């Protein structure tokens, strides 16, 4: 049985989703798992309390590791070290369901080919990498929406007369993507403003 099939059967059999399989130099076999996701049911009844997002725990990874070690040994798959982990903040987006799940999130995409002069407009025709908000396009496909506005630095004054850069959108299909991931954005707002005046 092929490695992909063994891992996928084992992971899904334990009730998880397989995100990624990666073989590295030195015999490392890295498996990334996530909790299954189902689109929220549209109910006409009164809205329920929002569900808290659940995450893969260390115990989940241990459970999958034990089962995979057994399954890989039975099928004679060679590896030196097995690592099972959660997707992390830069989770890859591979399937249509991933895009549905993370619609509205900031993502990074890399196209297989540059966008080309015909679709470029205000964008460099050789550009392949984009960061922006993932949205459903009017055509039913996907698009990424962004602004080339430079971020405001802490303490920087912004003129009220300044005209913001226009929003731009690029439609794409999953076949046109080389890579798509959640943008690893960490918010440290909790630390802002804590530094008071220096002691005398």
Percentage above 90 pLDDT, the chain: 40
Tens digits of per-residue pLDDT, 52-111? 567 889 999 999 999 999 999 998 888 999 999 999 888 999 888 899 999 999 999 999
The two tokens of residue 135 are 């949205």
Write down the residue that tokens 């619609």 correspond to: 103
Instruction: Tell me how far the alpha carbon of residue 164 is from its chain's centroid.
Output: 27
**What is the model's pLDDT at position 116?**
66
Is residue 38 pLDDT above 80, yes or no? no
pLDDT band (50, 70, 90) for residue 170: confident
Looking at 23-32, 91-100, 144-153, 185-194, which range is the least confident one?
185-194
140 and 79 co-located in one domain: no
- DSSP annotation of 183 reads -
Q: DSSP labels for 4-38?
A: HHHHHHHHHHTT-EEEEEEEETTTEEEEEEE----
144 and 103 co-located in one domain: yes
In a domain, 187, yes or no: no
Tens digits of per-residue pLDDT, 173-196? 899 999 999 988 776 665 444 444
123 and 177 co-located in one domain: yes
* Domain CATH number, residue 174: 2.30.30.100
Write down the residue that tokens 């059999």 correspond to: 13
60 and 113 co-located in one domain: no
CA distance 177 to 103: 16
135 and 108 co-located in one domain: yes
pLDDT band (50, 70, 90) for residue 199: very low
Number of separate domains in the chain: 2
pTM value is 0.73
Mean pLDDT of 121-141: 84
Structural domain boundaries, residue 8: 3-37+56-85
CB atoms within 10 A of CB 168: 16
28 and 101 co-located in one domain: no
């Amino acid at each position: 049985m092929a490695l992909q099939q063994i891992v996928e059967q084992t992971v899904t059999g334990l009730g998880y989703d397989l995100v990624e399989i990666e073989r590295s130099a030195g015999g490392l076999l890295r498996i990334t798992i996530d909790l299954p996701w189902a689109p929220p049911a549209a109910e006409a009844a009164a809205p329920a309390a929002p569900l808290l997002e659940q995450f893969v725990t260390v115990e989940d990874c241990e459970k999958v590791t034990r089962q995979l070690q057994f399954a890989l040994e039975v099928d004679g798959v060679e590896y030196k070290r097995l690592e099972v982990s959660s997707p992390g903040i830069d989770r890859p987006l591979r399937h249509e369901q991933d895009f549905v799940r993370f619609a509205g999130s900031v993502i990074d995409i890399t196209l297989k080919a540059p966008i080309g002069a015909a679709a470029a407009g205000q964008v460099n025709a050789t550009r392949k990498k984009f960061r922006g908000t993932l949205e459903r396009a009017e055509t039913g496909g996907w698009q990424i929406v962004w602004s080339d506005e430079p971020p405001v630095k802490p303490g920087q004054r912004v003129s009220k007369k300044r005209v913001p850069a226009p929003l731009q959108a690029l439609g794409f299909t999953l076949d046109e993507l080389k890579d798509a991931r959640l943008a690893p954005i960490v918010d440290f707002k909790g630390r802002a403003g804590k530094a008071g005046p220096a002691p005398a």
